Structure 1
Amino acid sequence: MKGSFHPSNALQLEADAVIIGSGAGGASVADVLTAAGLSIIMLEEGQHIPSSSASPIAREAFSAAWRGGGITAAIGRPPITYAEGRCVGGGTEINSAITQRADGDLINEWRKLNKIENFTADELAPYYERAETVVNASLTHGALGRATGILRQGGKALGWKVSELKRGQRGCKGANRCSYVCPNGAKQSMSVTLLPKAVNRGMRLLAQTRVDKIRIEKRRATEVIARSRDAGGQVVPVHVKAGMVFVCAGAIHTPALLRRSGKRERIGNTLRLHPTIKATALFSEPVDAHQSRLPLTAITEFMPDQRIGGSVFTPSVFGLSLAEDWTNRGDLMRDLRFCGSYYGMIRPRGVGSVRWLPGFNEPLVRFKLAPEDWIALSQVLTRLGQAMFAAGARKVFPSIFGHEGWTSPDQVHEFWDKPLPNGATNLMTVHLFSSCPPGEHQDACPVDSYGRVRGVENLFVADGSLIPEAPGVNPQMTIMALAFRVAEAALYRSAQERARSAARDKI
């Protein structure tokens, strides 16, 4: 991609706006601002990974595109492993590209809870439509494989609603490497959609550039201070002055950056995520999940509070999941062809936090599950087990250390009305949000209804941090919709400021 470059010496740059982060939020802001003719500089901590150089080896792919190689955890009991992209395109390069809108009733609840202006399903619909058009949200045609059929079969046998999932794709070849960076450019991530368009309009993109601080003086963000690397890996200072600053570094690193820039009030206090528990299902007939697309149906009967779906399945990823309890489950590697990996996901009532720690590159992330979250996890795991047996599984292994696995549908009710063992349960998530919720409820919201950080005239948040609570669905479309909305509002606000300034000059 043109414009993704390494500086050779210290840079002093100026632009109409600087965007920190190149994922779904940052790319969407760039699309709006470059279309309006503004000069833009985008700073991305990770590297650019073209499809042609995407590695098929899990260790190399995770190291290149995932923060911390995919191993990061929110502290709690138990700790919850979470995943973030760190590359040009951010999380859109490693996610499954599933496109879903937040439930309209939830959007209405958020509007009332946080007093968010002009925030209804109808008012957000044009932004959702724009996001869906960008990524060509569409159903996958042709054979989807047994891994998808298992969810459909199990859900329908139980009389539950099962939904086909649209994805952001063009000509998917079913390589089953969505989490590695798509090798064909078929997944419509930001690096193959909005970012090239913005660069062609003149945006300057600096990859491998970490932002240390935003300087704020007299209620304005005046300068972004960063460190890049030259072609030899040496650190190069980068200073950017811009009329507007958009922080789009994700629900973890956006609040961390704002806090180390001196903005701490209510920022990073309300982290939400989707606690997710997995299960491995063993069948008598081959599933061959490693040779087909990831499961493209989901059991949606219990949404938005609970959802049951399928995970990316490759030999290496399957081995990593078994490593949670290798002593008892390592033998399942020999039955790879007969296994599938599925999950249950909940909308939690618990809340987490993000804190910047001086001297550390990574912030401190905590998350505490509420008592009702444990019951919800028990229920969704029970339902997941029911679906697997209804689809013909002969054994189901929940992601609980030391658990022997269930061999009949009668056994899956083991935890229905009691919490899972918190010392042995392995939880993870790939969805993070809500650390900077918007609204006019000033005691709860660190940014206004349009993403502007309180007390700073030209500093905006535009990423998953803005989603007011856990949405119960894959968040990319909501992130893009809200980022489009923030960017348009910022343009309007900037135009008003220029008009007022011009009027004052005439007096």
Structure 2
Amino acid sequence: MKGSFRRNSELQLEADAVIIGSGAGGASVSDVLTAAGLSVIMLEEGGHVPPSSAPRVASEAFAAAWRSGGLTAAIGRPPIAYAEGCCVGGGTEINSAIAQRADSDLLDQWRKLYKIENFTPDELARYYERAETTVNASLTSGPLGRPTDILRLGGKALGWKVSELKRGQRGCKGANRCSFVCPNGAKQSMAVTVLPKAVDRGMRLFARTRVDKICIEKGRATVVVAHSQDPVGQAVHMRVRAGLVFVCAGAIHTPALLRRSSLRKRIGDTLRIHPTIRVTALFDEPVDAHQSRLPLTAVTEFMPEQRIGGSVFTPAVFGLSLAEDWTNRGDLMQAWRFCGSYYGMIRPRGVGLVRPLAGINEPLVRFKLAPEDWIALGQVLTRVGRAMFAADARKVLPSISGHEGWTSPDEVDEFWNKPLPKGSTNLMTIHLFSTCPPGEHRDACAVDSYGRVRGVENLFVADGSLIPEAPGVNPQMTIMALAFRVAEAALSHSAQERARSAARE
């Protein structure tokens, strides 16, 4: 990318726009702004991990591309582990690149509930189409492997709707390292697609640069204050002046940054996630999931409220999952070639919050499941178990510490009508949303219908924070669609503002 990821010791910078974060949201904003001819500076906290340097070992990949090495959790009972990318390209470098749109009925519900202008499925369609074209969302050709077949066979044997999944890809080689940064550049992440294009148009991208705060004066964002390091490791303080400021740091760090910048009203109060429970399924015949693509089908019969899918599987990742209850499950490592990893996720009714902590880089994150969420998790876990046995699993072990596992389909209804045990259930999520919901319902919305922070003329949010509630599907396409929409609206708003200023002068 023509050296665009080198750190710069310059203290004072100016541009038409500054973008904070380089993931699906920030990259999409950069595409719109640079195409319009604006000078753009992008600030990214993480480093650049090109495909040629993609780590082969899980521990190295987590250190290079995952926030806090993958060790992050929302406080609650139980705590819920969550994952975020922290590198150039953000979460698109470590996700599975699955491309799905939010359900049309949900979009309509959100439009009415939050009073979001121009938010119908038809009005959003062109933004979704742009997102899908950007990443070449497409079905994967050729044999998909036994992990995919297991989910397809299990779902269809039960009469459930099973859907093939499109992914952002070009010539996927099935390396099964989606979570480690794709070593082939086949996964169409932001560092492979949009960001090089924006850099070629003149965008300056500063990696390993953390934003401390945004200075607000007289209802305008005036300066973005950040710090970086020079090539010898010395701290460099940066001040960036720009006419437009876009915060695209994700559903955790966007509200934390806004709150550090003294913007607090309805910001970070409504965190939503996809609570997810996993199972390990043991089969009599080898699965060899490490040699296959991640499962590229999903049980969509119960969407958007519940979704059943499969996870990336490598020996190292499998070992980490067993570590939740190593005393009882460590022996499964000897049978790892015969195992597959699957999950059920729900759209929760519970809500969490995000708060920055003075002197600490990572904010406080809390999430409390509602009573009905526990019932839904029990139901989706039951359904995952049924699907595994329908695909001839020998044993199914839910992600519940101390649980002995099920050896027949007659046992899986254990939690159908009762909550899972809070003290021993291990939950996780890779999907985070809704900490800055948009709309004209001022009692519920942190930003207006087009992502502009209330009370600040030139400050916009454009990332997963904007998705009003959990969508029940992988969120990347929705994040990109909303970011394209915000960037277009910001350009229009800026042009109108300049015209009013010229008229006054």
Aligned match of 2:49:
49
Write the distance in 2 (CA, Å) between the matches of 1:38 and 1:241.
14
Question: CA contact under 8 A between 2:53 and 2:183: conserved in structure 1?
Answer: yes
Aligned match of 2:91:
91
Write the distance in 2 (CA, Å) between the matches of 1:344 and 1:31.
34
Write the distance in 2 (CA, Å) between the matches of 1:176 and 1:6.
30
Q: How much has 1:2 moved relative to structure 2?
A: 2.7
Aligned match of 1:320:
320
Structure 1 counterpart SS, 2:357: coil
Write the distance in 1 (CA, Å) between the matches of 2:480 and 2:8.
33
Matched letter for residue 92 of structure 2: T
Alignment of 1:32-431 (within 5 A): 32-431=32-431
Aligned match of 2:487:
487
Aligned match of 1:31:
31
Write the distance in 2 (CA, Å) between the matches of 1:233 and 1:274.
38
Q: How much has 1:414 moved relative to structure 2?
A: 0.5
Change (3 A) 1:228 1:272: same
Pick which of 1-10 and 491-500 moved more: 1-10
Write the distance in 2 (CA, Å) between the matches of 1:245 and 1:3.
24
Matched letter for residue 424 of structure 2: A
Write the distance in 2 (CA, Å) between the matches of 1:150 and 1:9.
53
Change (3 A) 1:167 1:8: closer
Structure 2 counterpart SS, 1:192: coil
Matched letter for residue 196 of structure 1: P
Query: What is the aligned residue count?
Result: 505
Deviations 1:146-181 (A, max 9, x none): 000000000000000000000000000000000000
Matched letter for residue 4 of structure 1: S
Write the distance in 1 (CA, Å) between the matches of 2:346 and 2:232.
45
Q: How much has 1:10 moved relative to structure 2?
A: 4.1
Question: CA contact under 8 A between 2:8 and 2:206: conserved in structure 1?
Answer: no
Deviations 1:71-100 (A, max 9, x none): 100000000000000000000000000000
Q: TM-score, normalised by structure 1?
A: 0.99
Question: CA contact under 8 A between 2:23 and 2:89: conserved in structure 1?
Answer: yes
Q: How much has 1:489 moved relative to structure 2?
A: 0.2
Unmatched runs of 5 consecutive residues or more in structure 2? none
Which stretches of structure 1, 4 residues or longer, exceed 4 Å deviation after superposition? none
Deviations 1:214-250 (A, max 9, x none): 0000000000000011112221111100000000000
Deviations 1:249-303 (A, max 9, x none): 0000000000000000110000000000000000001110011000000000000
Matched letter for residue 136 of structure 1: N
Aligned match of 2:439:
439
Write the distance in 2 (CA, Å) between the matches of 1:478 and 1:24.
9
Question: CA contact under 8 A between 1:42 and 1:204: conserved in structure 2?
Answer: yes
Question: CA contact under 8 A between 2:9 and 2:229: conserved in structure 1?
Answer: no
CA RMSD of superposed structures (Å):
0.7
Write the distance in 1 (CA, Å) between the matches of 2:502 and 2:218.
21
Structure 2 counterpart SS, 1:4: coil
Matched letter for residue 221 of structure 2: A
Q: TM-score, normalised by structure 2?
A: 0.99
Aligned-residue identity in percent? 82
Q: How much has 1:8 moved relative to structure 2?
A: 5.1
Write the distance in 1 (CA, Å) between the matches of 2:331 and 2:341.
15
Write the distance in 1 (CA, Å) between the matches of 2:8 and 2:153.
57
Q: How much has 1:400 moved relative to structure 2?
A: 0.1
Write the distance in 2 (CA, Å) between the matches of 1:3 and 1:444.
43
Write the distance in 2 (CA, Å) between the matches of 1:408 and 1:35.
58
Question: CA contact under 8 A between 1:210 and 1:228: conserved in structure 2?
Answer: yes
